[in-house]
Amino acid sequence: MKRLISLIFLLTLFCIFNVVAGDVLKLDFTKQDQYISGLKEGDMTEFYLNGERNIIIVDKIKPDSVDVTAFIAQETNGYPYYTTLSKTKTLKLDVERDDIDDLFVTFYRSSENLEYVYLLMKKPEIIPTGGVVVNEIKREKRGYDKYMITGFILSIVLLVFLIFKYKKSK
């Protein structure tokens, strides 16, 4: 009985972590050279540069900066980079390690309530223009969220039921 309760408890924890995870924004720099991405804390943006998968995760949004974790060339370089981006500090990505920057990631602005941060992502040779906000950015909707929430609720109910049954049997 204790093992069953432990298993249900672990299942509940698994559901919690998946439900509170952020969204994924996928960018395609083969179609466009610059984006402004609106991200919440916990959201990540994923893009490919020179055949390498890159990920930037928003950790903490501040009024004039943002803390991010970046995984650059994730297949060949598995460790993260932690940095703070601001108007004066830009993350320059050199995916190929050839001393030529492939992408600049800059803090653009944060929303008044600090719910969103807007990051300007552009190739170095591109001069930013006012019209970089694009509706082509697609948030990856996680279709399994409703199942995770349902599973979480069911596992809590089952856990409570088993605990009461276990206590009554003693």
pLDDT in tens, 134-156: 434 445 555 555 666 677 677 77
Question: What pLDDT, in 10s, does the model give residues 3-61?
Answer: 666 666 666 666 555 545 567 888 888 888 888 888 888 888 888 888 888 888 899 98
Which domains, from first to last, does the chain contain?
20-143 (2.60.98)
Rg (alpha carbons) of the chain, rounded to whole number? 21
Q: Which stretch of DSSP H or E encloses residue 17?
A: helix 2-19
Degrees to nearest 5, angle at CA 102 with 96 and 105: 125
11 token code pair: 């299942």
- Alpha carbons 156 and 87: distance in angstroms, whole number: 45
Contact in structure between 86 and 149 (CB atoms under 8 Å): no
Which of 61, 83, 63, 64 has its CA nearest to residue 72?
83
pTM for this predicted structure = 0.64
Which of 51-65, 81-95, 115-129 is predicted least confidently?
A: 115-129
Q: What is the mean pLDDT of residues 107-116?
A: 81
The whole-number pLDDT of residue 128 equals 58
